[in-house]
Structure 1
Amino acid sequence: MELTNQIMYLGAALVTLVIALNSSVELKTRIAINSSGLYWSIAGYLMALSCFSFVFFPWSGKALTIGDLLQLGSDIALGLLFRAIYTRITKKQLVYFISGTLATCMLYVWVVINGNYGARVEFIAISTILLSLWQLYELHGCFKKDKSYYLRFIYLAIFVQIALLVSRVIVTGLDLSAHASTFDEHQDEFFVRLAYIFCYIVIFIFLGNYFYNHLWKLSISLNQKQEDNMLSILNSLALARDDETGHHILRTQKYVHALAIRLKSIGFYGAQLEEAYVDILYKAAPLHDIGKVGIPDQILNKPGRLTVEERNIMMTHAAMGASILEVAKDKIENTNDVLSVASTIAESHHEKWDGTGYPAGLKGNAIPLSARIMALADVYDALTTVRPYKKAWTHEDASEEIIRNSGIAFDPAVVEAFISEKSYFKEVAEAFYLEERAVSAAIGS
């Protein structure tokens, strides 16, 4: 059984070594006594070294002692790992754990020097059972904080290990002293050893999956925070160039949201307008005019009609806005679609259904859906509010103009959604108008 055992331990050593090397990714970013990733790396490396020691055991008797000690160290590191997942490990507690580990190792060495093979096996078995019971206790604490099924599989694997050890040492009552060495065993004993080592591999594989899943969620969370912060900054920048102190942005955001929901409810673009996408659209809408930060005030706030040259400058805000948002998007790794959609809207919300818009002269369905929705919302709000160059249109006149331009400036499906939402548009416009009047009256008094 010697060669078979060596092959088994070599395979286990290579698997755990690969997992340990991968775990170093977490170790690079977070080295602390409360980092479960730290103990994950330590446990993996110790177990890999332990298995390598058992491979070399037939050529060196000391390799068995080293392998057993490394295995004990790995088990202790696993216990600390599970503890670090759900609670804080203090320096004082860590000192106790290290002292206990050293004392256990010294006691084992004393047994090796003064005892026989049976005493050595019984010591390791009992120590491992006790450490496994401690691991189960710590895992039970983990379940209060994290109900990951990876941890549940690990719990089951440790429980099986305990059962195997109890079966081998206590229940079967094997005469361990009759064996010349660790690898001098019957076939059924080998299979128990194989199952035991397999449980270790399962534990480390599921630990790897647990940590990578944890890191993935952490990465998503951090990226979301980054994007939220970026959106907040960009929204503030957009508000600074809104000639109505933000009301245009807020109104068009409501209009876009209403149009998207209505489009889906009446049977248009249902595959695109999933709930998640509509939410992204709602968040992206306020950034449609972000490019106006690059337009001079004398053009942006000019009370009269723009000259051809000034209009050409004004038209650059679409491409400029897309560029700003693309740069912002590149600053965030694994970003979700908010900034991508915002960039698309900024660039294309002045395109027209018949291809006479700008900046690219896109036509029909070549115009992104998000931009087609924003185009109508933007025009309605521009028509119904006072601008430096014009008076406000009535809701009725603005609605007639939008309906008249169905299939010309606007997607007919979006216009149909607008017709269904006309009363809501009027309600939103009037609510903001009344709010502005109230603020003006308060300031005047």
Structure 2
Amino acid sequence: MGATTIVDPLRISVIGTGYLGATHAVCMAELGFEVIGVDVDPSKIEHLTAGEVPFFEPGLEELLRKNLESGRLSFTTSLADAAAGADVHFICVGTPQHPGSNSADMRYVDAAVSGLIAGGLRPGSLVVGKSTVPAGTAARLAAWLSEQAPGVELAWNPEFLREGFAVDDTLRPDRLVFGVAPDGTAEATLHRVYASVIDAGTPVVVVDYPTAELVKVAANAFLATKISFINAMAEVCEATGADVTHLSKAISYDTRIGGRFLHAGLGFGGGCLPKDIRAFQARATELGAGQAVAFLAEVDAINLRRRTRTVTLATELLGGDVTGKKVAVLGAAFKPNSDDIRDSPALAVADALRRAGATVAVYDPAAIPNARRTYPDLTYADNAVDAATGAHIVLHLTEWTEFRELDPNALTAIVAARTVIDGRNTLNPAQWRAAGWDYHALGRP
């Protein structure tokens, strides 16, 4: 991928080989380190060892195979091997929303640290957290390590990966954040790990533990707020007859605002933004600062309302009752260039219409296998044409390039009714209307 590799005697372990961990392990090997990836799931290890990435991420599988062949990268289910054989240990396990509450579930982070301690961490080694955690976690883990593994330091190095761009975001990040304790060697070690990345001009921000923990959730809270702001304006536009796409364009020229994440539509999903803003609120409340982030509850509510509005609009366009109607849903992943369906707005809408009595056919270029496992009652198509055949309404809910480039004339003869809802505001309204379609979009007249 054009990264500058180095030769450094530091050996690296990456605990957790999900989306974050697998990407980080491969990219650390690409930077020239000897890397061992660890996971408790033998199936993940088997796939990765065979050169197969068990999720969709452009460019990652090629780098995985390259670094397996070089001998720099290996995978195991043994935490003991990682503890004994590496100098720097990156914790990359998940912190999902805790069942029954908005707080983050820390069992996987704690298990990873416990396993490293039991495996015999060497004095002088460094444990580096990359998982998104509640403020106070790093201090707790540092105290635990100090007691159980004297001479082992802790640092926090939050990740800022965008699905679909994860390799580039790891090898060429827009910033590196090092959360370290004073008077330790962790900062110097992290500078060694990221030497080539830093030499390429990436800025480094060195902070304390709680600041490092807050950086990721603060960034996600801001992005979620910006997305929900323009979707709130879409609600107002629908009430006034205004066009949210023109509104967004007009305010984006203000350099204080900018146009990124100011695109109205079905809203955000995935494994980060929704659960992170909820966990942020939960932790702030525990710390007595809940009022400071109380606005995030409305950010979350606005986001979920976009899904409800899409279901309502589809029902209205189908005459007030979806029973027996066929609905074509284009998109299952929460965003394009990903097969991640966690908290997918597209699938939430599809399943709500199914439960209301519609027959729903879903097509997505990458996410169908995951969608089938989680939503087995939906119908799935092999392509957009099959999904749209006989449909009384077509819903565009994930903005894959394939869907944006669809020729509406090619669908005209196969649908039962030429009605489309552009849930992402990325189709060309004039093109679809010229082909005889009744075009609707969120926040547009």
More helix by share: 1
TM-score (norm 1): 0.21
TM-score (norm 2): 0.21
